[in-house]
Amino acid sequence: MNKYELAVVVSAKLEEEDRNATVEKCKNYITRYGGTVTDVEDGGKKKLAYEIQYNKEAYYYFIHFEAEATAPIEIENHVRLMENVIRFLCVRQDEA
């Protein structure tokens, strides 16, 4: 199993319960494809470097998980379609 980090940028226009539901949906995609969520880090609300979909601010979440090498592709395919996610990035963590 490899260690990964999924960074998700969620619209600041959402209420807290909608943001939490979006993060839960991401976690469900991870477990659906055989991954195990180890940690969810709330990066808080930050100003964006440039406007994205009329948003000047957004909430950042970092989901750490372990999964097989094929899982991140499947997870990205589903996160890409999520309406409330304005940006995302899934990277493999170094073994240190």
Q: What is the pLDDT along the chain (96 residues), one digit of tens a residue?
A: 899 999 999 999 999 999 999 999 999 999 999 999 999 999 999 999 999 989 999 999 999 999 999 999 999 999 999 999 999 999 999 876
In which domain, by residue range, is 23 found? 2-87
* CATH number for position 83: 3.30.70.60
Is residue 23 within 8 Å of 85, Cβ to Cβ? no
Number of H helices, E strands in the chain: 2, 4
On whether residue 27 sits in a domain, the answer given is: yes
DSSP structural state of residue 96:
-
Domains contained in the chain, number:
1
36 inside domain? yes
Predicted TM-score (pTM) of this structure: 0.91
Q: Are 8 and 88 in contact (CB under 8 A)?
A: yes
Nearest to 8 by CA among 42, 55, 57: 42
State the pLDDT at residue 94: 82
